[in-house]
A = this chain, B = another copy of it.
């Protein structure tokens, strides 16, 4: 074995016991809500064929996909002699740039697999592959990690978990309503009380772009709008100028985006403006349905907002889009999602509409940590640690351990017959609730010293009484 360096790749993290327990609390809470709402779990492989992933996330997204090197030799047979020949033809001394391009082209052939970038595209691939085994509408949830070669920064990691729910095979807006209720239920169950679910509709955005006569630039305008939170009004104005929109168009658009009031007020204003756009009016109608249905339901904590600026970066959204942010903390969006009408089409199953949302478990973790919402979660170790006072008592100690465990008590034994002081120090640092001292005298008397590690209180008890006490 060679000398190994210490450390982990940038943007990744180790999770300590305390963190794993807190993270599992988040996953379990969200999972329980998904199941309450009738969703079923699936899991897909960590890596997909490269062709499954590329071209789905825009140019920016594609660059962030982690590719896996083909195993064995990197280039093979004819591929290799071809590469060698091509490179040989180049005068590398004079043409380092061409050599560079060529080498990188060959480099790109070294990979046929890539780590998944999100859970939605693998889900679409899954649905098409298994369409004959599924009941449509298919309601699935999926809780798995995704990987992005993003520049690491606070709250942004290269490996992070997504918790997704999607309904595929139904264009009913009842699904959108249900998803908003899932936001409300899951985040409320986690103890988050102050959060806003922002909704918008890509069709409204399309209508607006049509209204200012820039339909051919819809994607580019969307990408500019998506940066609103980061670069503000002036920043977006600059981005739009770069697209060579007229000052008047930009002015009109930014004015509309600045509409104030509740969802109904904004929908009313938009109706007046988008009369000329069939798509825009359809978007308004959809949002009207969703807000009307939500008005009839009991919402626990979610504040609802129609945010006309909301665009969402992903290419595949076509209808209603969602984003959730928590109040009282500066952590950005913690959930997102939207409707996609064509995602399975690319895999050979056209005309199937889907809608889904994703909970960013890592961001939610940060929110809960900031708001001190983990306080009641038990992250400590076992209930009891057995300390042996001599070698002779180890056999009996193992038997006692077995009895404690079969009575539902999480318990362990200090494996070495070390000095009592050392064993007690370990019990204290580990955070166990009780220490149980066993030596030859204790075994003879069938009476053991039980020490409450919090109070320091020490009692001499029979095994039966110890079990009763701890279970109580």
Chain A positions near chain B (C-beta within 8 angstroms): 1-9, 12-17, 19-21, 23-24, 35-38, 40-49, 51-52, 54-56, 63-64, 66-69, 71-75, 80-81, 83-85, 87-88, 90-93, 96, 99-100, 103-104, 106-108, 110-113, 115, 125-126, 128-130, 133, 135, 137, 139-140, 145, 147, 149, 159, 167, 170-172, 174-175, 177-178, 181, 185, 292-293, 296-298, 315, 346-348, 381-382, 385, 394-395, 398-399, 402, 405, 408, 410-416, 426, 429-430
Given A7-B49, A80-B100, A103-B84: A398 in contact with B37 (beta carbons within 8 A): no
B96 engages A81 (CB within 8 Å)? yes
| Contact among B3, B17, B75, B90 with A41 in the assembled complex (CB-CB below 8 Å) | B17
* Shortest 3 CB-CB contacts between residues of A and residues of B: A38-B412, A74-B107, A84-B99
- Could you tell me the distance in whole angstroms from the C-beta of A286 to the nearest C-beta in chain B? 14
Cα A410 to Cα B398 with chains together (Å):
43
A129 engages B49 (CB within 8 Å)? no
| Contact among B104, B159, B410 with A35 in the assembled complex (CB-CB below 8 Å) | B410
Given contacts A1-B56, A20-B41, A110-B110, 10 further A-B contacts (CB under 8 A): A4-B52, A5-B49, A15-B44, A38-B381, A67-B69, A67-B71, A81-B96, A84-B100, A174-B413, A297-B402
Contact residues in B for A135 (Cβ distance below 8 Å): 426, 429-430
A129 engages B84 (CB within 8 Å)? no
Which residue among A12, A84, A88, A413 has the maximum number of chain B CB atoms within 10 Å of its CB? A84
| Contact among B14, B74, B181 with A103 in the assembled complex (CB-CB below 8 Å) | B74
A130 engages B14 (CB within 8 Å)? yes
Contact residues in B for A402 (Cβ distance below 8 Å): 181, 297-298
B88 engages A84 (CB within 8 Å)? no
Contact residues in B for A106 (Cβ distance below 8 Å): 103
B45 engages A8 (CB within 8 Å)? yes
A45 engages B13 (CB within 8 Å)? yes
Contact residues in B for A54 (Cβ distance below 8 Å): 2
A415 engages B36 (CB within 8 Å)? no
A14 engages B126 (CB within 8 Å)? yes
